[in-house]
Amino acid sequence: MTTQESKWLNDRIGNFTASNIHKLMVSGKPKGNIFGDGAMTYIVEIVGEMLTGESKPDISKIREIEWGNAHEQEAMAAYIARTGKNVLYFGKGNPVFFPLLDLPAGGSPDGLIENKRVIEIKCPYDTANHVKNSILTLDGFKKERKNYYAQIQLNMIVTNVMTADFCSYDPRMLKDQHKLRILEIPLDMEFCKNMIERIRMAAKLRDGIYNRMMALDKLRKAS
């Protein structure tokens, strides 16, 4: 692990991250509950990071993560070859966590394109998912890829840009033009306003749970 990777992991601890921020966008049932069960679990996991100083690994997706890591640089090279744009790449060995001002959240985009837009690369392990990514319109992407949409929106906020390129890449496609799909995603101000408000509410819950844990420590020591 590089020094930069260690710093990136440390910077993320206790923060709601772009890759998981979609979990906070789901309301609970019955109607009126601000957060669903998945969101509450995520909030408690973040408290766990604060208490242990360690990030929780996503062991359920190791195969997919390894596949994506193995092909991300290849995908970036394909993007640069097709568009001719300069990209500041934050990939393997050089990840950067961009914090959200005044709130415990942030994102780690795959790169910045000429400091004007975010690039987010996905290399699906399942080819069917790449095909689906390739045929989605912007409206379809927002509905069918809610996790990616939220991730990209937060990454745009923290890097202060107005546009992102979502890239889906599959090296197994027989034709080169089918390997890389690029979809432009604009900043969605209404979505982001709602997302920031939900982050703010989640932060209050995070701090409340953490403070209760600290209070319990004091009670145990006093008894």
Per-residue pLDDT reduced to its tens digit, 73-105: 999 999 999 999 999 999 877 899 999 989 999
Give residue 135's identity as a one-letter amino acid code. Answer: I
What is the percent of the chain with per-residue pLDDT over 70, rounded to a whole number? 95
Which position has the token pair 């914090």? 99
Domains and CATH numbers, the chain: 3-222 (3.90.320.10)
Phi, psi of 186 (to 5 degrees): -85, 160
Per-residue pLDDT reduced to its tens digit, 148-195: 999 999 999 999 999 999 999 999 999 999 999 999 999 999 999 999
Sheet of 105-107: strand order equals 16-17, 105-107, 98-99
Give the predicted TM-score (pTM) of the model. 0.93
State residue 1's pLDDT score. Answer: 75
Query: Which region among 38-52, 88-102, 109-123 has the lowest average model confidence (pLDDT)?
Result: 88-102
